[in-house]
Amino acid sequence: MKKFFTVILSLVLLSGIPIVFAHGQAKKGDDAHGMLYKITGKNLKKPSYIFGTIHFICPNDMFPKEKLTAAIDETDQLIMELDMDDPSEMKMMETNILFTNGKTIKDFLSPEQYAKVDEMTKSVINVPIESLKTLRPIMLQTFLMVSSKSLGCNPPSSYEKTFKEIAAEKKKLIIGLETAQSQFDALDKTPMEEQAKKLYEMALDPNKSFADFKRLVEVYKTQDSDALYIEMNKQMSKDKTLQTTLLDERNVNWIPKLEKEMKERASFIAVGGGHLGGKKGVINLLKAKGYKIAAVKL
């Protein structure tokens, strides 16, 4: 089971952490908004592309693969948040999904709260909390959010897995923007007590969280990265630390590496869709560096 959770986490990454989103609509015909963008200009010899993913999604909700594959064909390497081909990174994921200090979820919840979480895990995945209590609370919350009860399909699909397979088939280089350790360092800025509290709050009404996630998919399908960011920003408004560490800081940290890689090789970049929009989103940060960005409709 531990290895299964590791696979889940490696695909969900940080922007897959359960956040509640509200509904939004894209502006039809607005070329400034998209989910796939072509990057040209400045010192680039060849265009690169950046695509915003949802780390788990039902196959019927995915964008057609043809244009995405065509964009990958024009590039020389695949860049993702984490290099999922690196065994050391996967080992780091496997090590950190569990408590490492002898604690369990039970240590951070009252008996009544623990019982409520148990009720949720049995209902959603038919597993008692006692079998899951060594998982970090935020890891368990994430796992529940990608269950068939939340997504509405079984099994779900993953853009990252799809892109990794395409890149391997076409013998393209795969690299990561950050390490698993840096991701867990960001997670650790949210105290364990707060993580457990959020897990309990989800247990009070898990169906609401699942409905919110389905609405997120509807926003995503409109191909408006700014609308997606706005909804994320609304949900994170009560936790500025989470917003800063999960989105803003990581976006800024990625830019120097993206510039270096795109200059050396045409790149297909796949990161969580929530990283693209907003003033501090990757799209605006690249524009500020002098690149030309054009949305490609799927």
- Strand order of the β-sheet with 267-272 is 173-176, 77-80, 267-272, 48-53, 36-40, 292-295
Q: What is the pLDDT of residue 185?
A: 82
Mean pLDDT value across residues 103-107: 96
Residue 31, SS3? Answer: coil
Q: What is the pLDDT of residue 27?
A: 41
For residue 291, the number of C-alpha atoms closer than 13 Å in the C-beta half-sphere is 26
Which of 67-81, 159-173, 234-248 has the least mean pLDDT? 234-248
The pLDDT tens digits for 2-23 are 444 544 444 444 333 333 333 3
Residue 51, SS3? Answer: strand
pLDDT band at 159 (very low <50, low <70, confident <90, very high): very high
C-alpha span between 202 and 145 (Å, rounded) = 10
Residue 35: CB partners within 8 Å, gap ≥ 6? Answer: 51, 52, 63, 220, 223, 224, 225, 273, 276, 298
Q: Write down the pTM of the prediction.
A: 0.86
Q: What is the pLDDT of residue 26?
A: 36
Task: Select, from the ranges 29-33, 144-148, 241-245, the one with the highest average predicted confidence (pLDDT).
Answer: 144-148
> Domain residues of the chain, as ranges?
2-11+31-295
* High-pLDDT (> 90) share of the chain, %: 54
> Does the pLDDT at position 164 exceed 50?
yes
Cα angle, residue 42 at apex, residues 36 and 46 outer, rounded to 5°:
60
* High-pLDDT (> 70) share of the chain, %: 86
Q: Rounded to 5 degrees, what are φ and ψ at 147?
A: -75, 165
C-alpha span between 25 and 243 (Å, rounded) = 22
> Does the pLDDT at position 146 exceed 80?
yes
Residue 250, SS3? Answer: helix
